[in-house]
Amino acid sequence: MKILALRLENLASLPGPLELDFTAPPLSDAGLFAITGPTGAGKSTLLDALCLALYGSTPRLRQAPARDSQIDDTPDSRLTTSDARTLLRRGTASGYAEVDFLGRDGRRYRARWAVRRAREKATGRLQAAEQSLTDLDDERLLTAQKREFERLLPERLGLTFDQFTRAVLLAQSEFAAFLQADDNARSDLLERLTGTAEYSEISMAAYRRASEARKTVEALEAKLADDLPAEPEARAELERVAEATQQALTHLQTQAESLQATRRWHEEDDRRHAAHAEGLAQQQAAEATWQDLAEARRDRDWRRLIAPRRHALARQAALPAELDALAATRRETDAALATAEAEHKAAGRALAEAEQALTHAGEARQRAEPALHEARAHQHALSQRQRELAECETQLTQARAQAAKLSDDHQREQAAQQKRHEQQRQWQAALAELVGEHSHLAAARQAGQQAHDRAAARTLALEALASRWQEYQRAEEACRHQAHQQTTDRERRERLLAEGQTARQALDRAQGHLESVTALIERSRAVRSESVARLRDGLREGEPCPVCGGQDHPWRHQPPATPEAAQLAAQEAEEGRQLEAARQARDDAQARRDTLLGEYRALEAALAQGERTLAGAEARLAEARTGLREHPLHDELDAEEAPAREAWLQAQRHESEASRRQAQQTLEALARAEAELAPLEESLRQGELALTRLEGDKARADRDLTELERRLPELQRQHDDTQRALRALLGEHASAEAWQQRLDATEAEARQARDGALARRHAAEQAQQRLAQRQEHLAERLNALQQERDDLARELADWRAQHPALDDATLARLLAQDDAEAREEERNIEAADQARQQAGAALAERRRALLAHRRDGGLGEPGSEEEETDDEALLSERTAEAIAQRREALAARQAELAPRLAAAQGERDAAAFALADDDRRRERQRAGQGELGAARAEYRRWGRISELIGSADGKVFRRIAQAYNLEQLLEHANSHLAGLTRRYRLARGGSPLGLLVVDQDMGDETRSVHSLSGGETFLVSLALALGLASMASGELTIESLFIDEGFGSLDPQSLALAMEALDGLQALGRRVGVISHVQEMHERIPVQIRVEPQGNGTSRARIVSA
């Protein structure tokens, strides 16, 4: 994996656009380069842009709160502080970061992250960020979708976000802290550096699952203990009672079923009797309806007789009206034919007149043709003269304007040239003043740069001194605070010891009281026990007691008095209260002792940890004191009184910064003067050339103006002559075209009139022919209808003579009747007939059903000779009264049986419920035992896992995993350390996460990492950072590395050793970028990406090569 180029625009303090091409000189030729600039200038923004383009986020943003912390973006929108879009510069509408890289497959790719605001306005709402991945070798866009990008990028690059931040962005400064930390701090750092937080979560999860499994087992055990089934004897009694109650219930149910069958017979008799009465009413209603339709039935018969002659009768009635209408139509046709003949004659006369007018118009056109030709020639000449005259006038106006403009431009350019001369003299004077006592501009620039560098170096030294002074003060305060905390904790421990002894004594007293109360209650209950009474009755003189084995039985003949039930219940309640109170007192004392014991143990651990913390604080204080004394400006600081040192440091930094700013302003003024003077001189030269060009253009414009003023009068005279000749030819006409149009219009009007007259005559001829044909057709139709009328009259007179009963009124009414009305009458008659037949059949069927039902009930003798008489008796009132008496007797018997049946049902249900409840308890016991067995197996499994790796705080498995990761890290780090220096090797020792240094030049002597010098510490921490990179990248070869800080505290000798290590890295084929604001690093690395503040929160990045 190799970074080929980085591009960005409008990110944080860098407005851009900025491109860093690592494949082009000087970066391509430099295996080691530095990213330099003051603190806060924007060096880390370059690394942020690198991560943004590849992953859409940065390490610093991922550490920010995800939701709780928000900032305003626009008046109607807010962003979380972890949102990558917050890196877009304020006041800009869009920005991007873009990286070209060499992937794990050897192909070149481009990853891009971009963000913009709505409508491309700086005040618009931020839109969603866009990400894209392009194959540069094929010039093919692989994806522009975020989810697809997140999947493809790690595949092509070979690294996830966490792997990239560990393998490419080396946390060398964190490993320097890692070396100096104790086990607890080193554990936290190792977890953050290697991303092994999940091991703590696994450890806590194992502990939590074991605890949950134990609680599940305890809950199941308690549940089963509270849900025990009946004993075998009680179970047998339940089964016996259930069987007896079921038998009694079955006997009563049989009686009830017999009565219910009789009741159903009565209900069926009522239903059949009601159906018989309903059928009788329906039969009578159908018969009445049939009689009401007698008139309609007669009309139906007449309609059937008339049907064959209906069409002839209707035709006979319609013929008179049709004959009258046809006669009227014939009269109208005769009148129209006369009118058409008159129109034909008039059209012929109009056609002759139109032909004559057309002939006159053609002759007039031929006479005017010569004059028209001459007028067109004069009109064309006049148009030509007008164009020439207008063109000349336009050219004259333009020439005058051009001459005036050139004169104005010449005057303005002369004034501008004079102003440029004046500016040149001013800048030359300013530059001479800035150069001052120096011999030339280069010497002044060099002096200013040296002053700026001296001020910057002193500012950095003062910042380092202030940092060491603050570190010393913090270490001193930490020592005082920890010492005071240790004293407080020791006093608290003494108090806890005294309170613990008091709590132990209280627990012993409570336990003794509980035991005595329990013994007294048990003895009292034993005296009252029924089993004791039975055992007492079984005692024999001289035989031992089966309980205590004694030969003497004092209570055999005179047992103690047994209290009444109410008194016994009150006594047992009081005993329970006393026993519960004693237990509660014991539990409270136990809880108090456990609480104090927990506090004591926690305090002991805190004291031990405090001792270690105090030792560490004292060590850091000594280290801070040494670092402070080693600083070159320590003597100046030490000369000040302790309370005034902070103010002295602040004043010195302000003074140094003021000197640096003044030197910077001088350099900027020199650069500005030099930059302004060069283009000004070029502007003077260009101004002279412009004046020369303007003078030549002005002379040419004056010559053109004179020529145009000479041509204009001659063109005007020619125009006037041509216009007078044309007016003489045209006369009253406006133009030759208007004259021609008038002749054409006259001839067209005559031709149109001729064509209209011709069409009119043709239309009149067609109308005359059409009306004559229609007149002939009407005569034939009238004769045919008259013949049809006579034939129908003879035929219908013969038919009426055969049916004299059919009078004219009835015939007219039936012929006038609507077909739908006739069909409706037919349907009504048919429906009434069908209803009459169905009602009779239904009545007969219901009568048979009622008689059969009553015979089945024992009310008649079927098959007797007088069956018809018997049927009438079964339907009589006497039979109805007998049925009512039997119904009353049935109701009395059912009322008497109902409470007995309900009681038996309740007894059976109670017994069945008790038996089913016991069945359910037994089933729950069986299921619960299986569930309990599974829960115990689960508890054993998680218990074994928790014993191995589980803990409430996650330390157990985390320490195991971190020990393994530390071994892996040291293995990779030692392989890199061997390439940096052969002398040292890292090893574990001293504690589970302890680190030692093996000095191979001293016979593998083992010593503490705290004994390393500054340069040696840098080498070891760099090797650890490279080792972590190797762990993160696996088999992938990383050719681009970025090391962020870690050089500020190195002395010159250590810095030289660090530079040798960095040279060794680039010798292995890696391109290493070092981010630092240390001036000595800048001087040792020739190729730099320098980030320079420009003011107003803006910085500029440029590549500098010495």
Q: What pLDDT shows up at residue 542?
A: 63
Helix, strand, coil % in the chain, rounded to nearest 5: 75, 10, 15
Sheet with 1005-1008, side-by-side order of all strands: 984-988, 995-999, 1005-1008
Decide if pLDDT at 733 tops 80. Answer: no
Sheet with 1098-1105, side-by-side order of all strands: 169-170, 1040-1044, 1071-1075, 32-36, 1087-1095, 1098-1105
Q: What pLDDT shows up at residue 140?
A: 92
pLDDT-wise least confident of 258-272, 554-568, 910-924 = 554-568
Q: What pLDDT shows up at residue 539?
A: 63
The answer to whether residue 479 sits within a structural domain is yes
Q: Both tokens of residue 816?
A: 């006038």
Q: What pLDDT shows up at residue 194?
A: 65
Angle, alpha carbons 447-449-452 (nearest 5°): 110
Cα–Cα separations (whole angstroms), residue 889 to 113, 257, 898:
99, 16, 15
Q: What pLDDT shows up at residue 81?
A: 80
Q: Both tokens of residue 386?
A: 């007008």
Decide if pLDDT at 642 tops 60. Answer: yes
* DSSP symbol at 861: -
pLDDT for 666-696, tens place per residue?
A: 767 766 666 666 666 667 777 777 777 777 7
pLDDT for 85-100, tens place per residue?
A: 989 988 899 999 999 9
Q: Which band of pLDDT confidence, cut at 50, 70 and 90, is reported for residue 849?
A: confident
Q: Among 949, 968, 987, which residue terminates a domain?
A: 949
Beta-carbon contacts of 761 under 8 Å, excluding residues fewer than 6 positions away, are 344, 347, 348, 350, 351
Q: Both tokens of residue 661?
A: 């700013």
Mean pLDDT, to the nearest integer, of 881-904?
Answer: 85
The answer to whether residue 498 sits within a structural domain is yes
The answer to whether residue 299 sits within a structural domain is no
| C-alpha–C-alpha distance, residues 126 and 74, integer Å | 8
If we measure between CA atoms, which residue out of 902, 995, 921 comes closest to residue 223?
Answer: 921
| C-alpha–C-alpha distance, residues 838 and 823, integer Å | 22
* 137 within 8 A of 101, measured Cβ to Cβ: no
Tell the residue number behind the tokens 């501008």, with chain if given: 416
What SS3 class is residue 32? Answer: strand
* 977 within 8 A of 984, measured Cβ to Cβ: yes
What SS3 class is residue 72? Answer: strand
pLDDT for 785-808, tens place per residue?
A: 888 778 777 877 777 777 777 777
The mean pLDDT value of the chain amounts to 79
Question: Which of 93-97, 650-654, 717-721, 970-974 reaches the highest mean pLDDT?
Answer: 93-97
The answer to whether residue 912 sits within a structural domain is yes
94-102 and 1005-1008 beta bridge pairing? unpaired
* 511 within 8 A of 583, measured Cβ to Cβ: no
- Which ranges in 733-876 belong to alpha helices (H)? 736-802, 808-816, 819-856, 867-874
The answer to whether residue 632 sits within a structural domain is yes
Q: How many of the other CB atoms lie within 10 Å of CB of 746?
A: 17
pLDDT for 325-366, tens place per residue?
A: 888 888 888 888 788 878 778 878 887 888 887 788 777 777
The answer to whether residue 329 sits within a structural domain is no
pLDDT-wise least confident of 185-194, 377-386, 543-552, 656-665 = 543-552
Cis omega (within 30 of 0) for bond into 65: no
140-143 and 984-988 beta bridge pairing? unpaired
Q: What pLDDT shows up at residue 545?
A: 60
- Extended strands (E) in 121-165: 130-135, 140-143
Q: How many of the other CB atoms lie within 10 Å of CB of 1019?
A: 23
Mean pLDDT, to the nearest integer, of 964-986?
Answer: 82
Decide if pLDDT at 724 tops 50. Answer: yes
Q: What are phi and psi of 37, to 5 degrees?
A: 150, 160
- When divided into structural domains, the chain yields a total of 2
What SS3 class is residue 1090? Answer: strand
* 224 within 8 A of 928, measured Cβ to Cβ: yes
Percentage of the chain beyond pLDDT 90 is 8
Sign of the C-alpha dihedral computed for residues 330, 332, 333 and 339 taken in this order = positive
Q: Does residue 462 or residue 484 have the better pLDDT?
A: 484
Decide if pLDDT at 560 tops 90. Answer: no
* 36 within 8 A of 1091, measured Cβ to Cβ: yes
The answer to whether residue 629 sits within a structural domain is yes
pLDDT-wise least confident of 74-88, 638-652, 890-904 = 638-652
What SS3 class is residue 96? Answer: strand
Decide if pLDDT at 260 tops 70. Answer: yes
Q: What pLDDT shows up at residue 530?
A: 47
Q: Which band of pLDDT confidence, cut at 50, 70 and 90, is reported for residue 1049?
A: low
Decide if pLDDT at 1061 tops 70. Answer: yes
Q: Does residue 1043 or residue 683 have the better pLDDT?
A: 1043
Q: Among 949, 973, 991, which residue terminates a domain?
A: 949
CATH number, domain of 606, equals: 1.10.287.620
Question: Which of 379-388, 447-456, 866-875, 934-943 reaches the highest mean pLDDT?
Answer: 934-943
If we measure between CA atoms, which residue out of 187, 175, 189, 88 comes closest to residue 1044?
Answer: 175
User: For residue 1013, is it left (φ>0), alpha (ψ between -120 and 50) or beta?
Assistant: beta
Decide if pLDDT at 505 tops 90. Answer: no
Decide if pLDDT at 437 tops 60. Answer: no
Decide if pLDDT at 863 tops 50. Answer: no
| C-alpha–C-alpha distance, residues 388 and 390, integer Å | 6
Q: Which band of pLDDT confidence, cut at 50, 70 and 90, is reported for residue 156?
A: very high
| 459: containing domain | 443-538+570-639
Q: Both tokens of residue 144?
A: 């522009």
Q: What pLDDT shows up at residue 694?
A: 73
Q: What pLDDT shows up at residue 63?
A: 74
Which amino acid, residue 390? Answer: A
- Extended strands (E) in 529-603: none
Decide if pLDDT at 23 tops 50. Answer: yes
What SS3 class is residue 110? Answer: strand
If we measure between CA atoms, which residue out of 652, 657, 467, 630 comes closest to residue 1045?
Answer: 467
pLDDT-wise least confident of 143-152, 217-226, 679-688 = 679-688
Q: What pLDDT shows up at residue 53?
A: 95
Q: What pLDDT shows up at residue 681?
A: 66
Which amino acid, residue 25? Answer: P
Decide if pLDDT at 1084 tops 90. Answer: no
* pTM (whole model) above 0.85: no
Mean pLDDT, to the nearest integer, of 435-444?
Answer: 57
pLDDT for 600-628, tens place per residue?
A: 777 777 788 778 788 877 887 787 777 77
pLDDT-wise least confident of 142-151, 1022-1031, 1083-1092 = 1022-1031
First vs last C-alpha separation in the chain? 28
What SS3 class is residue 513? Answer: helix
pLDDT-wise least confident of 23-32, 141-150, 380-389, 530-539 = 530-539
The answer to whether residue 1099 sits within a structural domain is no
Q: Which band of pLDDT confidence, cut at 50, 70 and 90, is reported for residue 865?
A: very low
Q: Among 906, 932, 949, which residue terminates a domain?
A: 949
* 33 within 8 A of 1088, measured Cβ to Cβ: yes
